[in-house]
Amino acid sequence: MLRSMQIFPEKEELSGILTDVPEYHKIYLNDKSGKYKYTKKATQMLQEVHVYTKLDSSSRIEMNVNIPFKDITRMEVIERDKGKSTGVTILAVVGITIGTMAVITAIAAALKESCPFISVYDGSEYVLQGETFGGAIYPSLAREDYVPLPSAAIGPEVKVMVSNELKERQFTDMANLLLAEHAPGQQVLISPAGELMLVSNPVPAKTAMLNNSRDMLQMVTDLDNTACAFNDTSAGTPVNRLVLRFDHALEEGNLGLQLSLRNAYWLEYTFQELTKHFGDRYNQWVGQQKQKPGEQIIQWQEAQHMPLTISIKNGDGWKELLKLKTIGPLMNRDLVIPLKHLPENGGPIEIAFSTGFMFWELDQVKMVEIEPLPASAMRTLKPSAAVDEEGKNVMNSLKEADGKFLEQPEPGKRAYLTYKVPGYSPSKAYSAFLHSIGYYEPIRDYQGPADLGFLNRMKDPGGFTAFSMDEYKRVAQSAYLAAKKQ
């Protein structure tokens, strides 16, 4: 079994810590009758992915391993068979075709709630770029998002795919392409608010300390998928705080932070563990959540430290720059944060990143010079064509932010969008970003009674954050004890 597993689509590999496979995850392997019966009262997860691959003969338990997608020989999804399950649960075993997108989708299905997948045509195939409006799981949380499309083949037209790959219902209200024209060699990034910025002269931090005790400088200097995971269990608090120190070089208005980051799969796992405690009351709870104002749900999220809070220190103390909403764990996202509230007397600049235990992974932070992209170099393109997986025209659902949603109610639903680029010139450089609005609804089928005591604790400020760290310690202890038995 892989613990602390991560998917790296850009490197086409999995990584994690190799551990023993518990017996309760071998039920269908040991069931010679082929009936795959499983008690409905059991608390183990009824959805998982079995990956078959050949590991090096030197591999051992509690060892970090990297598994290239190309070395995966077979995959199976194990889940509850709703059609056959009555008094007992019957497991369905589904074989998965091997391939990059199949590997990503199948494993993500077992680990995360997800949100719409965004892919672009790179000249030969559709390539995954990330997810959009992560965490917007109710209509009241529908929001804008901006996904960079670095792999897009930009020519007279650009092609984008919006797809539902997991167990959820997706609703997309608008999907515009933001196109930035710039000189070759220049880099354009987008802020969480949708501001396009030219960035240059990146400078690494001088120091980076997690909870005043752990040196994270190497983790956040290089873009290498070795990230600050906000996973310090020794600080006495489940809220982790990373402070970086930079030299001050420019005046206010000319500085920004260039970030490469993602949410951790651990956040998806712990939130699913929370919702599992609703048991067969889950759908009733979702209905109640939909009736709440979005601001009330956001207040709960902030009280649990789910956003990444970014602050700057000046003569008046720490000033909050923004709370970054969740963006999903599937791929790193590169973005820029304009800096304000700079120290008046110059000197070093200190930046703090604060979040709940293992909710985010910060791979790289640089201080950069920023310059707003001139309006003449920016274009907002509406799709010139939009069809679904059956070739049906879905243009009217995506052209405007008008409450007419493209509905993708089940896995396998896809929308193929084409954007015409007027005045395209191969001698110019372009950067593309998808500007979308929407929300999604996870589909869950939990069984058994609700654990009201646990759920009441999750209402308290910091309750979910504390659960995240406690659950991590529990899982780590279980793995340690299992390793000792070897």
Which DSSP string do the residues of 44-103 spell out, in sequence order?
Answer: S-S-EEEEEEPPPTT--TTEEEEEEGGGEEEEEEEEE-TTT-SSSEEEEEEEE--SHHHH
Q: Is the pLDDT of residue 476 over 80?
A: no
Helix, strand, coil percentages, rounded to 5, for the chain: 20, 40, 40
Res. 84 pLDDT band, cuts 50 70 90: very low
For residues 360 and 249, the answer to whether their CB atoms sit within 8 Å is: no
Distance CA 179, CA 432 (A): 5
Distance CA 9, CA 108 (A): 11
Q: Which of 339, 212, 285 shows the shortest CA–CA distance to 451?
A: 285
Would you state the pLDDT for residue 3?
63
DSSP 460: S
For residue 339, give the 3-state DSSP assignment: coil
H/E element holding 438?
strand 429-442
Q: Which of 32-46, 81-95, 250-264 has the highest mean pLDDT?
A: 250-264
Distance CA 145, CA 142 (A): 10
Res. 304 pLDDT band, cuts 50 70 90: very high
Cα–Cα distances in angstroms (integers) from residue 404 to residues 88, 174, 287, 389, in the given order: 41, 9, 21, 19
Would you state the pLDDT for residue 111?
55
Distance CA 306, CA 223 (A): 23
For residues 465 and 357, the answer to whether their CB atoms sit within 8 Å is: yes
Q: What's the CATH superfamily of 118-267+305-449?
A: Galactose-binding domain-like (2.60.120.260)
Would you state the pLDDT for residue 45?
39
Would you state the pLDDT for residue 260?
97
Residue 178 or 35, more confident: 178
* Amino acid letter, 403: G
Res. 78 pLDDT band, cuts 50 70 90: low
Q: Is the pLDDT of residue 43 over 60?
A: no
Distance CA 34, CA 50 (A): 17
Please give the model's pTM, rounded to 2 decimal places: 0.81
Distance CA 432, CA 58 (A): 44
Distance CA 225, CA 69 (A): 17
Would you state the pLDDT for residue 349?
94
Distance CA 475, CA 136 (A): 28
Spell out the residues 6+ positions from residue 443 whose beta carbon is closer than 8 angstroms to its own.
167, 168, 169
Of the given ranges (68-82, 162-176, 187-201, 267-281), which has the lowest mean pLDDT? 68-82
Res. 108 pLDDT band, cuts 50 70 90: low
For residues 128 and 78, the answer to whether their CB atoms sit within 8 Å is: no
DSSP 231: -
Q: Domain boundaries in the chain?
A: 1-111, 118-267+305-449
Q: Average pLDDT in the 202-215 region?
A: 96
Query: In the chain, what is the straight-line distance between the N-terminal and C-terminal CA atoms, in Å?
Result: 15
Res. 334 pLDDT band, cuts 50 70 90: very high
In terms of DSSP H, where are the helices of 15-99? Answer: 27-30
For residues 164 and 411, the answer to whether their CB atoms sit within 8 Å is: yes
Classify strands 308-314 and 349-356 as parallel, antiparallel or unpaired.
antiparallel
Q: Average pLDDT in the 176-185 region?
A: 96
What is the per-residue pLDDT across 115-127, written as a single tens digit (0 to 9) for each? Answer: 899 999 999 989 8
Q: Is the pLDDT of residue 483 over 60?
A: no
Would you state the pLDDT for residue 26?
63
Q: Average pLDDT in the 240-248 region?
A: 93
Distance CA 197, CA 191 (A): 8
Q: Average pLDDT in the 373-402 region?
A: 96
Distance CA 131, CA 145 (A): 9
Distance CA 436, CA 424 (A): 23
Res. 463 pLDDT band, cuts 50 70 90: very high
Q: What percentage of the chain carries pLDDT values higher than 90?
A: 62
Q: How far is C-alpha 186 from the chain's CA centre?
A: 27
Q: Average pLDDT in the 36-65 region?
A: 61
Tokens coding 260: 């490469």
For residues 146 and 152, the answer to whether their CB atoms sit within 8 Å is: no
Of the given ranges (28-37, 41-50, 109-118, 333-342), which has the lowest mean pLDDT? 41-50
Res. 405 pLDDT band, cuts 50 70 90: very high
Q: Is the pLDDT of residue 149 over 70?
A: yes
